[in-house]
Amino acid sequence: MGTSHRRTSAADLADGLLDFASTVGRGHEFGREKAEAQLADLDVAAVDAEAERHVLVRIGAAWNLGWQPRELVRQVRRGADAHAQGLALVAIALDHTRPSASTIDPRWATQLAALELPSSAPPDFVTAWTRTVDLSRLGQVRVVVTLLRSLAALSRIPTLIPPPGARPADGTIIDLTSKVNDPMLDRVRALLAQAESTQYEAEAETFTAKAQELMTRHAIDLAMLSVGARQAERPDTIRIAIDDPYVAAKSLLLQFVAESSRCRAVYHQRFAVSSVVGFTADLDATETLFTSLLVQAQVAMQGAASTAPPGTNARSRSFRAAFLMSYACRVAERLAEINRYIVADAEAETGRSIMPVLAARSSVIDAAVGDLFGRLRSTPVRRGFDAEGWAGGRRAADRARLAAGHLDPSPAR
């Protein structure tokens, strides 16, 4: 009886200390450290059992708040170390042994597969994890608390994929991961792969321009088909991570690419992600082109730094921030030029104005953004004060014949 009473008391104390340590605000580091020290001195089995329960509860709450597996692991990585990320992966693996496989959305399952979760996750996963890390007991407790703090800091975001066990209102799950291959998108990906692999900026920019031309023409064709068939296509939403450094310039580049691909991008500064709203083909094109342009920008910056004399601004943070901002702005101008060219070309072919069709689809996307996010505010982005970096970024984007009028439009037809 006495032993049972002591274990129950230890569990209750561990419960309270874990809750306090994982939610206490900034400025109370001393209180958190004191709670961690107390946890390290408590009965190990009782603390580990409570830690397992707390972690699983917080992970389940994250799914219900709209977070997806890939996003959750990234947020833990941003606010914690490799130990906490490893513990999170074990917990996620255990969490997904409970729902029936038939209740997991295929898109969710795809993310789980990409995370390469541990093949086995025992119910006492914290206890099992402690045997695999070379940390003191206090160090183990601090990792658990750090993970719980990362999970507790998550707030609600739009639910894009129903979590395990949940289904949309109509009870169906649409598998968006096994799309029918689109020959146009395959060509776009091939062009962007060529842009990333070439060592010549002129070639890279030309491949990118051709990819954008194909995507714009394809979007116009889809819009005209949907009008002719009187189909009400519904916008979708994806989230794209914006990683350090230079998140302001990168998020602006994504916004420009999204707009040029007839989508809308909303940046969530706290979590360093952007939600992009648009029609499915345009979303695919946006993500693909944005990724390619980031790679090309990085190559251009590295080239500028490698050819600059030691000690010059080309290696400074201010140079790179201004370079990327200028690059994004000039790319936006050129993508807009391509779109104007393709719209005019399509109107000349069909003998009718395309703009009302595109405007109607744009209004549908705007309404979807309003439903998801309500009123939004614009935040000014600093352009950077390094004149050399700004000029270098513009030169990098100007170096190729990116104007669509200089390209052979026949493949787009």
Cα(124)–Cα(173) distance, rounded to whole angstroms? 32
pLDDT of residue 299: 75
* pLDDT value of position 310: 66
Whole-number Å distance between alpha carbons of 152 and 59: 9
Count other C-beta atoms under 10 Å from residue 366's C-beta: 13
Burial class (CB in 10 A: 0-12, 13-18, 19+), 120: exposed
Specify the pLDDT at position 11.
92
Judged by phi (left if over 0) then psi (alpha if -120 to 50, else beta), residue 382 lies in beta
**For residues 273 and 381, what is the distance between their CA atoms, to the nearest angstrom?**
16
Which value, to the nearest 10 degrees, does the dihedral of the CA atoms of residues 118, 152, 154, 91 take? 10
Q: CB atoms < 10 A from the CB of 397, how many?
A: 25
Instruction: Say if CB 260 and CB 342 are below 8 A apart.
Output: no
pLDDT value at position 215? 65
The pLDDT of residue 63 is 95
Q: How far is CA 313 from the centre of its chain?
A: 31
* Tens place of pLDDT per residue across the chain (413 aa): 444 444 458 899 999 999 999 999 878 889 999 999 999 999 999 999 999 999 999 999 999 999 999 999 999 999 888 999 999 999 999 998 876 656 788 889 889 998 989 988 899 999 999 999 999 999 999 999 999 999 999 999 989 999 887 755 444 443 333 343 456 656 766 776 676 677 776 676 677 667 767 766 666 666 655 544 445 568 999 999 898 888 999 999 999 999 988 899 999 988 999 999 999 888 887 887 887 788 778 777 777 777 766 666 766 888 888 999 999 999 899 888 888 887 888 788 777 777 777 888 888 999 999 998 888 888 777 666 788 888 888 887 765 333 333 333 333 33
Note whether 205 and 402 are within 8 A (CB). yes
The identity of residue 146, as a single letter, is T
CA 294 – CA 299 distance, rounded (Å):
9
Backbone angles phi and psi of 310, in degrees to 5: -55, 140
**Residue of 337, 354, 345 whose CA lies nearest to 409:** 345
Q: How far is CA 253 from the centre of its chain?
A: 14
Distance of CA 287 to the CA centre of its chain: 10
Report pLDDT for 225.
57
Q: Kindly state the helix (H) or strand (E) to which residue 270 belongs, with its residue range.
A: none
Single-letter residue type at 53: R
Q: How far is CA 323 from CA 251, 315, 327, 387, 400, in A?
A: 14, 11, 6, 9, 17
CA atoms of 394 and 400, how far apart (whole Å): 11
Nearest CA to 22 among 143, 138, 132? Answer: 143
